[in-house]
């Protein structure tokens, strides 16, 4: 299985798996030892192009996953909240985030918002930047956000010591656009032939981008796309499903593998949404910060963490299910996540009206027992296949 | 249980809010429009200047909790697909709407406009997404930036002012068919500032020994008018001026607050409390404190509708800017280090013996980081802390035995420290 980039599927997956297993974030420490700068970005979305433009590594912090035994992180949070901030703080206490020159936390939800305060109280000398994303979709929202992007750029430049030019920003937006395009192509291939792009494998390869420099990740995705296109894999008798609700805290890879073993082929998902966010490329002609601001306000996906003034999110889910020819929808959500869970009634109603079956699942990034998921997903997949046969 | 006892301020508060609920219920028939909005960062002076009727879904939810109706509404919302682990205020409110929208004793009118004042809580956006779906009402959006860096910047203020001017006011003009009248707004702001002066004196009265008020349990009654529909009215000014006099009389006589079970006896412990109360067990919780001789001398919950004791006043000379500053300055919009500094100040200024966090499962805005807040207050202010957990209006999460045990151990620790 040799591709034109002289990398095999096994090699790509092995590299992605190694990065996935790097719970203690040694990759970041090595990058730092080599003289590089690192800016951590919390989910769901931060315009990491600004970090890349400054020559720093944007590290997408997705928590510790099942490999991290959270000991100290729990002490700072009450019981009824999701797992992500616990593992992030635990990583901080262990020193795994010492490599960060800056942490950028977006206004995804109140958990992350308050995490900025926890961070400041625990580590007053470590810079943290709160990015208040606009909830408005008009000129006021653009203007407010544009000012924040300018502040973010100034802070990134300050901590990295870099002078960031307009060309640097354009180059970084170009790389991010390439990544979006490749992810889009992988998404299309998966819809056409789910067996060619297994969801768990794709997730590993996408997740590698959390720790790789964007340019390197683009190369990895190019190789992976080529391999997926050219490697014959057997078709499976599976149910096509769409997965929603995983835009922030990530389910462990075991969760996705369990879905596959239970007979579900995930043909669309919102896993690691922040790495792509926009369905279309960001404009390369406009002044870069203007382009990023306008893109966020006008082109963002209907993610649960953005206010949906027009009430489009339920219809968008139905459209996505139809576009991906999904037979059913898995509404997955991290436990205690108000952002994802409060959407459920409206999404369920829209799916039901459209005649699209759905099932609800909850997870935590450190879940290790997938018995209930296997049971639920297996029953759902069987039912979907049965309906398909009857139809 | 003995009948609930109340001081005069509480009785008058109830009558005022009752009258408002009745007025709101009649709004449709009398040709007035109803606007739903949230307590933190509410623009009530602006709403009054348009003669619309404000309704606060959190208040409706907490009142449902106090009269033990919330559990039924929560089940209703869960039947409609809501998860167990989300904010119970939202579920209570949504469940009530689905069940036919019968409010506390009165019919809560349907909204003509949803004024989404997004101050200090991301769940507010989700809440009004749900209500917009149920009521099909238009939304006026006011995004209030978070004070993550511990200060209000010009950029933040400008953004809020621009939204009030370009979105909220036009939405109210469309709703009512009236032009915005800045002089009416100024007049309401002037009245707000007067009520805020008197209200702040009531808050400060807890510095006295014994404290004439309970600044948490008792204060939730006193804040009713100023946090909700009546700030900016002459009625509220009169209410707070009389309340100030009433509290002053109690203080001079060396009397403490009136609890639901009668006047409080000896005040053995002066406490600062962080977090909202449990409404379904409100009386029970207060009794646990008062029976043990614990009076609350300062609380953060009573600052969610405005931080007047740190000097903020609505300002008729800067009408839109002062509305913006009000929204930006509410307690849940403060960073955790700001909240810590405030609590530390309360412990010092009010000579508190201890600090209690009442952490409610529902609320991430308040809750995330509270264990660290507790630890830091203990370390910096040198007083013991206590962590209690329950919920706002979901009674499944209140355990009397658990709360009692923790509170008792905490108060014993204070006693032992004194003896040492
Ligand atoms: S998983 Fe949900 S609640 Fe947790 S940080 Fe992410 S958006 Fe917030
Ligand atoms: S999360 Fe907290 S602040 Fe937000 S609506 Fe619920 S109780 Fe209120």
Are the Cβ atoms of A342 and B368 closer than 8 angstroms? no
Are the Cβ atoms of B364 and A307 closer than 8 angstroms? no
| Separation in Å, CA A195 to CA A240, A264, A324, B77, B319 | 10, 11, 14, 39, 62
Indicate the residue of B94, B155, B340 with minimum beta-carbon distance to A121.
B340
Q: Is the CB of A220 under 6 A from ligand 1?
A: no
- Please give the number of the atom of ligand 2 that sits closest to the Cα of B123: 4
Residue-wise pLDDT tens digits, B147-164? 999 999 999 999 999 999
Are the Cβ atoms of B148 and A116 closer than 8 angstroms? yes
The model carries a pTM of 0.96
CA distance B10 to chain A (A): 33
Ligand 1 center to B43 CA (angstroms) = 29
| Contacts B367 to A, Cβ<8 Å | 78, 80-81
Counting ligands in written order, the one closest to the CA of B88 is: 2
**Does residue A205 have a cis peptide bond before it, meaning omega lies within 30 degrees of 0?**
no
Q: Going residue by residue through chain A, which has 391 residues, state the pLDDT in tens, using 9 for 90 and above.
A: 344 556 899 999 999 999 999 999 999 999 999 999 999 999 999 999 999 999 999 999 998 888 888 888 788 898 899 999 999 999 999 999 999 999 999 999 999 999 999 999 999 999 999 999 999 999 999 999 999 999 999 999 999 999 999 999 999 999 999 999 999 999 999 999 999 999 999 999 999 999 999 999 999 999 999 999 999 999 888 999 999 999 999 999 999 999 999 999 999 999 999 999 999 999 998 899 999 999 999 999 999 999 999 999 999 999 999 999 999 999 999 999 999 999 999 999 999 999 999 999 999 999 989 999 999 999 999 999 988 777 6
CA distance A158 to chain B (A): 17
| Contacts A120 to B, Cβ<8 Å | 335-337
Q: What is the β-pairing status of strands A358-363 and A328-334?
A: parallel
What integer pLDDT is reported at residue A3 of this predicted model? 44
Nearest CA to ligand 2 atom 7: B363
Q: Is the CB of A243 under 6 A from ligand 1?
A: no
* Dihedral class, residue B81 (left if φ above 0, else alpha if ψ from -120 to 50, else beta): left
What integer pLDDT is reported at residue A2 of this predicted model? 42
Nearest CA to ligand 2 atom 2: B363
* Dihedral class, residue B353 (left if φ above 0, else alpha if ψ from -120 to 50, else beta): alpha
8 A C-beta contact, residue B303 and residue B309:
yes
Please give the span between the terminal C-alpha atoms of chain B, in angstroms, as a whole number. 38
8 A C-beta contact, residue A170 and residue A288:
yes
CA distance B265 to chain A (A): 33
Q: Is the CB of A82 under 6 A from ligand 1?
A: yes
8 A C-beta contact, residue B73 and residue B401:
no
| Contacts A144 to B, Cβ<8 Å | 143, 145, 155, 159
The complex's ipTM? 0.95
| Contacts A43 to B, Cβ<8 Å | none
What lies within 8 Å, CB to CB, of B3 at 6+ separation is none
| A65-A70-A76-A78 Cα dihedral, nearest 10 degrees | 70
| Positions of chain B with pLDDT lower than 50, given as ranges | 104
Best residue of A113, A123, A305, A335 to probe chain B, by most B CBs closer than 10 Å: A113
| Separation in Å, CA B216 to CA A95, B65, B265, B266 | 40, 17, 17, 17
Element containing residue A313 per DSSP (H, E): helix A313-323
CA distance A27 to chain B (A): 29
What lies within 8 Å, CB to CB, of B163 at 6+ separation is A136, A140, B141, B142, B143
Q: Is the CB of A87 under 6 A from ligand 1?
A: no
A vs B, Cβ pairs < 8 A, gives 157
8 A C-beta contact, residue A359 and residue A328:
yes
What integer pLDDT is reported at residue A158 of this predicted model? 98
What integer pLDDT is reported at residue B105 of this predicted model? 53
Ligand 2 center to B147 CA (angstroms) = 17
Q: What angle do CA A121, A125, A130 make, to 5 degrees?
A: 65
What integer pLDDT is reported at residue A388 of this predicted model? 76
User: What residues of chain B, 320 to 339, have a C-beta less than 8 Å from chain A?
Assistant: 335-337, 339
8 A C-beta contact, residue A256 and residue A266:
yes
Of how many residues is chain A composed?
Answer: 391
d(CA A305, CA A131): 14
CA distance B221 to chain A (A): 27
B196 phi, psi to nearest 5 deg: -65, -35
Q: Is the CB of A274 under 6 A from ligand 1?
A: no
What lies within 8 Å, CB to CB, of B309 at 6+ separation is B200, B203, B204, B303
Closest-CA residue of A relative to B150 is A117
Are the Cβ atoms of B368 and A81 closer than 8 angstroms? yes
Of how many residues is chain B composed?
Answer: 420
| Contacts A308 to B, Cβ<8 Å | 129
| A200-A201-A202-A205 Cα dihedral, nearest 10 degrees | 120
Q: Is the CB of A305 under 6 A from ligand 1?
A: yes
CA distance B242 to chain A (A): 38
| Contacts A81 to B, Cβ<8 Å | 364, 367-368
Pocket of ligand 2 (CB under 6 A): B 58, 87, 89, 121, 123-124, 332, 362-366, 392
- Please give the number of the atom of ligand 2 that sits closest to the Cα of B127: 5
What integer pLDDT is reported at residue B2 of this predicted model? 76
Q: Is the CB of A105 under 6 A from ligand 1?
A: no
What integer pLDDT is reported at residue A391 of this predicted model? 67
Q: What is the β-pairing status of strands A128-131 and A102-106?
A: parallel
Q: Is the CB of A334 under 6 A from ligand 1?
A: yes
Q: Is the CB of A115 under 6 A from ligand 1?
A: no
What integer pLDDT is reported at residue A1 of this predicted model? 39
- Please give the number of the atom of ligand 1 that sits closest to the Cα of A82: 4
Query: Tokens 């067990």 identify what position?
Result: B281
Are the Cβ atoms of B81 and A135 closer than 8 angstroms? no
DSSP string, B145-200: --BTTSS--HHHHHHHHHHIIIIIHHHHHHHHS----HHHHHHHHHHHHHHHHHHH
What b-and-e string marks burial along A245-282, b requiring 16 or more CB atoms within 10 Å of the CB? bbbbbbbbbbbbbbbbebbbbbbbbbbbbbbbbbeebb
């Amino acid at each position: 299985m040799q591709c034109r980039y002289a990398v095999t599927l096994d090699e790509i997956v092995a590299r992605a798996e190694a990065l996935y297993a790097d719970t203690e974030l040694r990759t970041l420490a090595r990058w730092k030892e080599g003289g590089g700068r690192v800016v951590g970005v919390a989910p769901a979305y931060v315009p990491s192009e600004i970090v890349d433009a400054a020559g720093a590594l944007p590290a997408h912090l997705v928590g510790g996953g099942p490999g991290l035994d959270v000991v100290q992180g729990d002490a700072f949070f009450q019981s009824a909240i999701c797992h992500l901030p616990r593992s992030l703080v635990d990583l901080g206490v262990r020193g795994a985030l010492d490599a960060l020159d800056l942490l950028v936390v977006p206004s995804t939800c109140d958990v992350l918002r308050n995490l900025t305060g926890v961070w400041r109280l625990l580590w007053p000398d470590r810079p943290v930047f709160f990015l208040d994303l606009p909830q408005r979709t008009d000129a006021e929202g653009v203007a407010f956000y544009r000012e924040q992007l300018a502040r973010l750029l100034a802070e990134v430049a300050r901590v990295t010591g870099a002078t960031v030019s307009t060309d640097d920003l354009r180059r970084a937006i170009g790389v991010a656009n390439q990544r979006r395009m490749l992810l889009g192509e992988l998404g299309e291939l998966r819809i056409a032939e789910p067996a060619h792009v297994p969801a768990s494998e794709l997730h590993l390869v996408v997740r590698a981008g959390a720790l790789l420099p964007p340019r390197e990740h683009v190369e990895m995705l190019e190789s992976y796309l080529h391999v997926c296109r050219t490697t014959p894999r057997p078709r499976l008798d599976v149910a096509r499903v769409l997965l929603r609700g995983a835009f922030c805290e990530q389910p462990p890879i075991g969760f996705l593998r369990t879905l596959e073993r239970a007979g579900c082929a995930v043909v669309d998902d919102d896993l690691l949404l922040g790495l792509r966010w926009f369905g279309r490329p960001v404009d390369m002609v406009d002044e870069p910060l203007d382009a990023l601001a306008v893109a966020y306000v006008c082109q963002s996906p209907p993610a649960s963490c953005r206010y949906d003034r027009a009430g489009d999110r339920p219809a968008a889910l139905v459209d996505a299910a139809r576009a991906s020819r999904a037979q059913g929808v898995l509404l997955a959500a991290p436990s205690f996540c108000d952002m994802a869970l409060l959407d459920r009634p409206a999404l369920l109603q829209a799916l039901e009206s459209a005649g699209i079956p759905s099932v609800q699942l909850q997870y935590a990034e450190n879940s290790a027992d997938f018995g209930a998921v296997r049971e639920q997903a297996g029953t759902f997949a069987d039912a979907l296949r049965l309906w398909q046969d009857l139809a | 249980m003995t009948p609930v006892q109340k001081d005069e301020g509480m009785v008058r508060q109830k009558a005022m809010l009752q009258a408002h609920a009745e007025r709101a219920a009649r709004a449709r028939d009398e040709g007035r429009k109803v606007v739903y909005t949230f307590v933190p960062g509410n623009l009530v002076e602006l709403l009054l200047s348009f003669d619309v009727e404000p309704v606060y879904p959190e208040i409706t939810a907490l009142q449902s909790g106090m009269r033990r109706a919330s559990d039924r509404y929560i089940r209703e919302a869960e039947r409609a697909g809501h998860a167990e682990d989300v904010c119970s205020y939202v579920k209570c409110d949504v469940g009530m709407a689905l069940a036919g929208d019968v409010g506390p004793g009165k019919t809560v009118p349907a909204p003509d406009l949803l004024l989404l004042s997004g101050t200090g809580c991301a769940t507010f956006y989700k809440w009004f997404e749900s209500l917009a779906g149920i009521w099909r009402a238009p939304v006026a959006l006011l995004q209030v930036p978070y004070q993550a860096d511990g200060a209000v910047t010009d950029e933040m203020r400008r953004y809020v002012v621009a939204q009030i001017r370009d979105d909220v006011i036009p939405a109210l003009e469309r709703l009512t068919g009236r032009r915005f009248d800045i002089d009416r707004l100024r007049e309401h702001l002037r009245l707000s500032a007067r009520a805020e002066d008197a209200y702040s004196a009531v808050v400060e009265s807890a510095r006295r020994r014994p404290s004439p008020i309970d600044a948490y349990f008792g204060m939730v009654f006193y804040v009713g008018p100023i946090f909700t529909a009546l700030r900016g009215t002459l009625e509220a000014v009169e209410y707070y001026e009389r309340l100030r006099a009433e509290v002053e009389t109690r203080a001079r006589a060396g009397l403490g607050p009136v609890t639901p079970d009668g006047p409080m006896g000896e005040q053995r412990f002066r406490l600062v409390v962080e977090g909202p109360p449990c409404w379904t067990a409100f009386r029970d919780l207060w009794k646990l404190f008062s029976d043990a001789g614990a009076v609350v001398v300062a609380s953060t919950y009573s600052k969610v509708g405005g931080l007047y004791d740190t000097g903020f006043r609505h300002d008729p000379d800067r009408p839109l800017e002062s509305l913006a500053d009000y929204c930006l300055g509410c307690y849940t919009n403060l960073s955790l280090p700001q909240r810590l500094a405030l609590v530390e100040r309360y412990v010092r200024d009010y000579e508190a013996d201890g600090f209690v966090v009442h952490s409610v499962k529902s609320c991430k805005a308040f809750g995330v980081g509270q264990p660290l807040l507790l630890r830091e207050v203990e370390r910096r202010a040198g007083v013991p802390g206590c962590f209690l957990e329950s919920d706002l209006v979901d009674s499944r999460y209140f355990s009397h035995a658990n709360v009692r045990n923790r509170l008792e151990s905490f108060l014993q620790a204070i006693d032992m420290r004194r003896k040492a």
